Chains A and B, each alone.
Chain A
Amino acid sequence: MLKRIVIASALFLSTAAFAAPKNGEMAPDFTAKASDGKEYKLSQFKGKTVVLEWFNNDCPYVKKYYDAKEMQKLQKETTAKGTVWLTVASSAAGKEGHVDAAGMKKIQADRGMASTAALLDGSGEIAKKYEAKTTPHMFVIDKTGKVAYQGAIDDRPSASAKSLVGAQNYVTQALAALEKGEGVKTASTTPYGCSVKY
């Protein structure tokens, strides 16, 4: 058993060394189909700030933010400023939270989501490029295409709605700093939530 663990981790290490996104470095480019039928390429948004949000509709930590309408509010405020918000659904086929275009569209309508697009990443291709670990796992990419923030959405690793009160939202802080042309103070944190269902 020990042997198997060692092999598995060695495999992961080799991919990790290749792809781990770093703050201040170019965010890995990707092309993906969205629930609206269109294809989106990260590099098409150069000149705009981009938020990546890992999403799984059935994850309690994602629900915490959507049931309280906080995520929708954040999406609305952010996209209103011309920032691009990409929701990424990376659950593999047969796993919790896996969606096809129609399924995602329905969730977007039911939840009143306001992200620019919801990318269908059932293959986990984007998730692997970003080493997305949890839902939610957040990335903020600045106008030049460099990673400016990665990690948790806030400082309250809890699924309880009560934890929203008094929480520090790292994404809001990062976006505000970028808007002012300042450096992001808390640029990476450990994300919390359900695991990405690869």
Chain B
Amino acid sequence: MFESGIVLSIIGAVIAAVLAGIGSGIGIYTAGSKAAGVLSEKPDLFGKILVITALPGSQGVYGLLIAILALSKIGLFSTTPVEVPIEIGYKILWAGILMGFAGFASAWLQGRVAAAGIGAVGRDESLAGKAIVLAVLIETYAIFGLLVALLIVNSIQL
């Protein structure tokens, strides 16, 4: 199966979406559990805490983005099937692996930073902005992953 361009491409797209999605899930789980705890004490903080909790969610979207872009590049959504050369398949596979792992690790760990930030906001509301900034520092690396994956996928011309 590693000789078919289309199979490789689909594996790449799946890795990007699934790994980044799992990372986001774990990240939001970590942050969300902490958020629920803080909210039980201070329900007024919901707006601020929601924003911090949502931060690890973006990696899942980046993964989805790469997956859909890759699938549309190989013509999966069009009615006429396109022959996908093996090199293109490998391009997409590597882009997917890159996005998947960058998204997975950064979302997973961003969730921890977000959870700690939520704890800080629970004690002092005015720290919300700083807590967001700290969590966003990690996201940089997901964005770099996204950037490189985008450049790879976008270079494909079929």
Are chains A and B native binding partners rather than an unrelated pairing? Answer: no
